[in-house]
A and B are shown apart, each in its own frame.
Chain A
Amino acid sequence: MSLETRDQELLARYAEHAGLDAVEQLRQLADRLTGLKVVHVNSTRRGGGVAEILEAMVPLMRALGLDASWEVIEGTQDFFACTKSFHNALQGKALQIPPDQLRAYEAVNAENAKRLRPVLEAADVVFIHDPQPAPLLGHCAVRQGKWIWRCHIDLSHPYRPVWKHLRQFLLGYDASVFSLDAFAQPMPHPVFLIPPSIDPLSEKNLPLDPAAANDVLGEFNIDHERPLVAQISRFDRFKDPVGVIAAYRMAKEYVPSLQLVLAGGTAADDPEGEAVLKEVREAASDDSDIHVLSSGHYSDRTINALQSAADIVLQKSLREGFGLTVTEAMWKGKPVIGGNTGGIRLQLLDHRTGFLVDTPEGAAMRIRYLLSERHRISQIGQAARELVRQNFLVTRHLREYLTMMVALTHGLEDRIELG
């Protein structure tokens, strides 16, 4: 199959999900950027939200005629220990980073710069994702293009000493991108606001045959004929899994056949994760209809099946950045009961595509309501899917990247008229 045919097929597949007009708009915007050399740099090829987005974004950019590539920096144990500490500190945790780790952070970037410099200096646009590769800019003295720092982290309340340290590497960038206005920090360059997205063509989000989804439920002894609510999320206090169990128990008094699945893992570097999982198991121990799936390494297909088979999906977070599991569930036509916090407030329209709640009681009431007015499950689910189609697919995400690239190359005037 020729490259061109393959590209057209890829665009046609996106058009099936996102709509012809969305893809046509991408084509027209990309016409102005044909041949532009765009390089994305992050720190991992697989795993995590950034890699998931780039897996979809880079081929899509290429299909539209941009010369897009994706580079991954290679690091040492000290380097990743440092960047993990960055991640926690930037989200508000007060911690000291040992000087040898900070040195490793800079040394790894210097080492990677030797390999990547020719590609980065020749690029028209460079996207540096998150703090890990941020110092690369300082090693590319004769860079040609625009450099954009894409921050996927909630920087609303960073631990200041660590933010101050990282910020020195960001001052030379031409722009930054944050997912939400509330997550941004003041910068000496333009700050764009672009929410993340999901890929409708990924195995996690492609339509799944109900029989196949039921088979997956069978593997975990979940009865597909009884109502099911699910929360797919790490075992983390901010995700409030114990609150979800409390909500389930209150709802079960009215819907005795109700089942709950809590599926997720604990981050290897999160000492609290195991403690939270223990609390969850204790809270669930007397009820065989609560299924705690905690291996943490479920395939995309398993996650897809659990979300697809659930009647209602919960994401009852107490703090949340941009919860992609909310969007994934909505894309599958599920009403989502989400915590009234962070990005969930943007992702979910209260009463229209789901419900925002502040307490387990609120979640219980919404579960009861939806299970007693089942026609509302499909009504809300359809509205949820449509909201995602219009706003949270990778096609919208790319449209905003392309628009930003045009804006940056035209000097950020209020209005840019392209011929």
Chain B
Amino acid sequence: MLQFAIKDCALAIVATGRRAQTLREMRSVLRDVHPGSIYHHFWGTLLRPQPAEREYNNDFASWCSQSLHDAPAAERLAVIDPARYSNIEDLRQELSEVIDERLDETELMLFARADQQFHFARSVTVVFDTHKVLAHPRELVDALPQMSVGSIFYHFIDARKREPLRRDDFQAWLSGLGSEYAGLIESIAGIDPYFESLFVLRNRLSEILARHFGETASAKVERPGPGRPRVLTP
């Protein structure tokens, strides 16, 4: 059986030195800012301090809302789903088009306060092996609640840009094990990673795994399934 090697990752955040005070300046920087910066401001936000439920799910939209007070721009930028773009350049293009559209219809140029400019940063992802290997999907029931948020980020978020079908690593592993796990794969695929903190994602994944194997175990061997994983505070 294929094994699942648990990896972990940590981000080092690097300033690019580029910044914007208006939407037009943001558009201008987006033309040629480091591609890692676009990735960082869509996904890297998950590894930074944030509430369990976010109003906007990427930094561009949040800035338009909180610092420019431009709600239409914020809403349109928030609806961009980075998981649907196969590469960063396509995502850059979509961002630029949304901003251009907003600039075309706006007569008044909104400015952010000088101390609330948008600072473009990028991240260096350091991936390391935890030396923990799972031989059977059932082992995920115990392993998932113990995974660091860095592991959740690596296997559930970062995987989408590594994996050819843009799936998370859990789905990719399970799909390689035959049709037995089709229901489980479907449940995992139902989680939208774009709206939850990593802690909530970990809880939801843990619950799905515990429910699946709990039910399977009860049905097959008539014994209680594994206990519900420990509750993790979001």
Spell out A's residues near B (CB within 8 Å). 20-22, 24-25, 28-29, 32, 156, 178, 181-182, 184, 186, 190-194, 341-342, 346-347, 349, 352, 383, 386-387, 390-392, 399-400, 402-404, 406-407, 410, 412-419
Please judge, given known A-B contacts A24-B148, A414-B36, whether A192 and B15 are in contact too, CB under 8 Å: yes
Q: Least Cβ distance of B59 to chain A in Å?
A: 11
Of B117, B121, B125, B130, which one neighbours A193 at CB under 8 angstroms? B121
B71 in the interface, Cβ–Cβ < 8 Å? no
Q: Is the CB of A193 within 8 A of B14?
A: yes
Q: Chain B's nearest CB lies how many Å from the CB of A345? A: 8
- Interface readout for B13-56 with A: 1 if CB under 8 Å, 0 if not? 11101000000000000000000100000000000111100000
> A32 contacts B128, CB within 8 Å?
yes
Q: Name the B residues within 8 Å of A383 (CB-CB).
A: 51
Cα–Cα, bound, A191→B122 (Å): 11
A190-B14, A192-B14, A399-B10 given; A29·B126 CB < 8 A? yes
Is B106 engaged at the interface, CB distance under 8 Å to the other chain? no
Asked if B147 CB lies within 8 Å of chain A CBs, one says: yes
B233 sits at the interface (CB 8 A): yes
B10 and A25 form a contact (CB under 8 A)? yes
Chain B residue at smallest Cβ distance from A22: B148
- B49 to A416, Cβ gap below 8 A? no
Answer whether residue B124 sits at the interface, using C-beta atoms and an 8 A cutoff. Answer: yes
How many angstroms from the CA of A184 to the CA of B130 in the assembled complex?
Answer: 34
Question: Whose C-beta in chain A lies nearest to the C-beta of B119?
Answer: A181
Return chain A residues, CB-CB under 8 Å to B126. 29, 403, 406-407, 410, 416, 418
Q: Which of B50, B121, B128 contacts A418 (CB 8 A)?
A: B128
Q: Select which of A32, A391, A400 is within 8 A of B49 by beta carbon.
A: A391
Excluding A182-B115, A341-B115, 15 further A-B contacts by CB distance (< 8 Å) are A21-B147, A32-B128, A156-B115, A178-B15, A190-B14, A191-B17, A193-B15, A193-B121, A383-B51, A386-B233, A387-B49, A403-B12, A410-B126, A414-B124, A415-B127
Contact partner, A403, options B11, B36, B129, B146, Cβ 8 Å? B11
12 A-B contact pairs sorted by A residue (CB < 8 Å): A32-B128, A182-B117, A184-B17, A191-B14, A193-B121, A347-B49, A391-B49, A403-B10, A407-B12, A415-B127, A416-B124, A419-B129
Residue B150 at the A interface, CB < 8 A?
A: yes
Check: B8 CB closer than 8 A to any chain A CB.
yes
Interface contact A25-B15, CB-CB below 8 Å: no
CA distance A410 to B12 in the complex (A): 12
Cβ-defined contact, A412 with B14, below 8 A: yes
Cα distance A248–B141 in the bound complex, in angstroms: 51
Closest A residue to B148 using CB positions: A21
- Chain A residues positioned under 8 Å from B115 (CB to CB): 156, 182, 341-342
Q: Determine how close the nearest CB of chain B comes to the CB of A92; give it in whole angstroms.
A: 12
Of all chain B residues, the one with the shortest Cβ separation from A342 is: B115
Q: A182-B115, A341-B115, A386-B233 are in contact. Are A418 and B17 (CB under 8 A)?
A: no
Q: Give residues in B with beta carbon < 8 Å to A.
A: 8, 10-15, 17, 36, 48-51, 115, 117, 119, 121-122, 124-130, 146-150, 199, 233
Picked from A32, A352, A404, A417, the residue with its CB within 8 Å of the CB of B12 is A404
Contact of A28 among B8, B14, B121, B233 (CB under 8 A): B8
Query: Nearest chain B CB to A181's CB is how many angstroms away?
Result: 4
With a cutoff of 8 Å between Cβ atoms, the chain A residues found around residue B50 in the complex are: 349
Question: Does A192 contact B13, Cβ atoms closer than 8 Å?
Answer: yes
* Closest residue of B by beta carbon distance from A175: B14
CA distance A391 to B198 in the complex (A): 13
Complex contacts, B49 vs chain A, CB 8 Å? 346-347, 349, 387, 390-392
A-chain residues with CB within 8 Å of residue B48 when the two chains form the complex:
391
Residues of B within 8 Å of A412, CB to CB, are 14, 124
Answer whether A415 and B125 are a contact pair too, CB < 8 Å, given A191-B15, A192-B14, A349-B50: yes
- B148:A413 contact, CB within 8 angstroms: no
Complex Cα gap A352–B36 (Å) = 30
By a CB distance below 8 angstroms, the chain B residues around A406 are 12, 126
The winner among A156, A182, A190, A415 for most chain B CB atoms within 10 A is: A415
Known: A28-B130, A32-B128. A182 touches B11 (CB 8 A): no
Q: Of A25, A390, A416, which is within 8 A of B8 by CB? A: A25
Using Cβ atoms and an 8 Å threshold, which residues of chain B touch A181? 15, 119, 121
Bound CA–CA A253/B130 (angstroms):
58
The residue in chain A whose Cβ has the minimal distance to the Cβ of B123 is A414
Picked from A29, A392, A413, the residue with its CB within 8 Å of the CB of B128 is: A29
Residue of A21, A191, A341, A400 with most chain B CB atoms under a 10 A cut-off: A21
Q: Which residues from chain B contact A386 at a C-beta distance below 8 Å?
A: 233
Contact indicator A414/B130 (Cβ below 8 Å): no
Known: A342-B115, A352-B51, A399-B10. A416 touches B147 (CB 8 A): no
Whole-angstrom distance between the alpha carbons of A189 and B198 in the complex? 32
Cα A415 to Cα B50 with chains together (Å): 24
Contacts A192-B15, A349-B51, A387-B49 given; does A29 touch B124 at CB 8 Å: no
For A191, list chain B residues within 8 Å (CB).
14-15, 17
CB distance from B29 to the nearest CB of A (A): 13
Closest approach, in angstroms, between the C-beta of B181 and any C-beta of chain A? 26
Q: Is the Cβ of A25 less than 8 Å from the Cβ of B150?
A: yes
CA–CA, A25 to B146, complex, Å? 11
- Give Cα A387 to B233, complex, Å: 10
Q: In whole angstroms, what is the CA distance A404 to B129 when docked?
A: 17
